[in-house]
């Protein structure tokens, strides 16, 4: 039975019954006829994954889509697959997730590139003129998230896309916390590449995701196998040719059942209505944000008018924090805690963020219960 009171969609959403069936039906068929045979039998279904994903983000071609086993895998593959001869620096924000910051730092260190980190306030605001100036000064790769993991922070990604275009910068977007809740149009965003996960707002299975690589963008895989490359020998010389589409980032060996599960989740999202889902999520989030901002004992992480449905709340004292946790447990409210490890440049070691992330199908009565708890502190 689906839990319609669940509020940790920013961590991992509840899959629908039909998504679970898509996975288990495939595995049962694989058990009956064998793994390769089942894969071949389902080729048309795998093609649908690329078609649905391209439609989801308004990619210009299915060739710009690649399946991955998660958002972090995609982010690492793209950062490490970027043609670094084209840039002098990376630009990102202090509100970024730990994995993103770490990958950028390691890549910058290894390749003698500068990493510029623009500081953000608790509400997520930052000096966009500084970003513009940095991008104008050097050949840059701007790499950041559309929505952050720790609260109601949705970055001005369309404005940043315009800056990137004007500065001839490479623009990499992380849609891990936005895909499935905020409508995404990669052509309007003007990004060169994007990474996304399946398990969060898309309501797909864990261990799934995808990347978008705009045709002609300077990203090439650093890991190949027989599905993404071909090796030939001519007069004693070995030549390796990698396929030119985004699927060069894929590997032959993967969980094909999970891929079909993600494809089904994407179809359900599109069929329900992308804008309708966003409206319902924001309705829930705005109710909770109002309850937080009305309570002087609590502080909202992010902005009250954010486009993201993720709620981050910080208690003004440890005693208040413990009381919030106790009341949530008493009322059977699912929450998640975010610490410095998740956002090392945004929070100090003492900060504890209570995160609430309600999907579109969360019961309104449950949202009201959460709001009442937040007001009662």
CATH of 17-272 among 3.80.30.20, 3.30.70.100, 3.40.640.10, 3.40.50.970: 3.40.640.10
Q: Is the pLDDT of residue 13 over 80?
A: yes
pLDDT at 346: 94
The model's pLDDT over 295-318, given as tens digits with 9 standing for 90+, comes to 999 999 999 999 999 999 999 999
Residue 298 near residue 315 (C-beta atoms within 8 A): yes
Ranges of CATH 3.90.1150.170 domains, the chain: 274-376
Does the pLDDT value for residue 3 go beyond 90? Answer: no
Per-residue pLDDT for 158 more than 90? yes
What per-residue confidence (pLDDT) applies to 226? 78
8 near 335, Cβ under 8 Å? yes
Report which of residues 96 and 3 the model is more confident about: 96
pLDDT tens, residue by residue, 97-113? 999 999 999 999 999 99
> For the purposes of burial, counting CB atoms within 10 Å of the CB of 329, is it exposed (0-12), middle (13-18) or buried (19 or more)?
exposed
Q: Indicate the CATH number of 274-376 among 3.30.1240.10, 3.90.1150.170, 1.10.1040.10, 3.90.1150.10.
A: 3.90.1150.170
Q: What is the pLDDT of residue 233?
A: 84
| pLDDT per position as a tens digit, 174-188 | 999 999 999 999 999
What distance in Å separates the CA atoms of residue 20 and residue 272, rounded to the nearest whole number? 18
**CB of 367 closer than 8 Å to CB of 284:** yes
Query: In which residue ranges of the chain is CATH 3.40.640.10 found?
Result: 17-272
The answer to pTM > 0.75 is yes
The reported pLDDT for the residue numbered 258 is 98
The H-assigned helical ranges of the chain are 17-33, 35-41, 43-57, 71-81, 98-111, 128-137, 157-167, 186-189, 256-272, 274-293, 318-330, 364-376
230 pLDDT higher than 90 = no
**Is residue 52's pLDDT more than 90?**
yes
Q: Residue 227: what pLDDT? A: 78
């Amino acid at each position: 039975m689906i839990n319609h009171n669940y509020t940790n969609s920013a961590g991992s959403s509840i899959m629908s019954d039909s998504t679970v069936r898509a996975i288990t039906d495939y595995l049962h068929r694989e058990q009956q006829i064998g793994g390769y045979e089942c894969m071949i039998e389902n080729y048309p279904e795998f093609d649908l994954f690329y078609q649905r994903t391209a439609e989801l983000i308004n990619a210009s071609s299915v060739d710009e889509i690649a399946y991955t086993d998660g958002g972090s895998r995609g982010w690492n593959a793209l950062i490490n697959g970027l043609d670094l001869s084209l840039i002098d620096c990376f630009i990102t924000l202090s509100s970024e997730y730990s994995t993103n910051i770490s990958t950028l730092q390691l890549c910058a260190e290894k390749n003698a590139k500068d990493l510029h980190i623009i500081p953000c306030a608790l509400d997520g605001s930052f000096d966009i003129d500084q970003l513009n100036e940095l991008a104008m000064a050097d050949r840059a790769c701007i790499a950041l998230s559309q929505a952050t993991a720790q609260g109601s922070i949705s970055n001005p990604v369309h404005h940043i896309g315009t800056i990137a275009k004007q500065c001839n910068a490479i623009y990499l977007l992380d849609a891990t916390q936005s895909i499935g809740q905020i409508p995404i149009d990669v052509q309007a965003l003007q990004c060169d590449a994007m990474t996304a996960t399946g398990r969060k707002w898309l309501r797909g299975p864990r261990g799934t995701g995808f990347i978008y690589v705009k045709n002609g963008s300077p990203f090439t895989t650093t890991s190949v196998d027989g599905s993404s490359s071909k090796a030939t020998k001519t007069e004693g010389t070995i030549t390796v040719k990698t396929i030119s589409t985004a699927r060069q980032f894929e590997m032959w060996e993967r969980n094909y059942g999970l891929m079909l599960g993600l494809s089904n989740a994407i179809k359900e999202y599109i069929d329900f209505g992308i804008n309708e889902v966003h409206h319902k999520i924001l309705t829930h989030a705005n109710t909770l944000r109002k309850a937080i901002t009305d309570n002087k004992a609590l502080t909202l992480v992010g902005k009250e008018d954010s486009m993201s449905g993720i709620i981050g709340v910080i208690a003004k004292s440890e005693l208040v924090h413990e009381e919030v946790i106790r009341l949530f447990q008493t009322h059977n409210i699912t929450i998640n805690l975010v610490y410095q490890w998740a956002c090392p440049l945004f929070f100090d070691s003492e900060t504890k963020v209570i995160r609430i992330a309600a999907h579109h199908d969360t019961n309104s009565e449950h949202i009201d219960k959460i709001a009442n708890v937040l007001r009662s502190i």
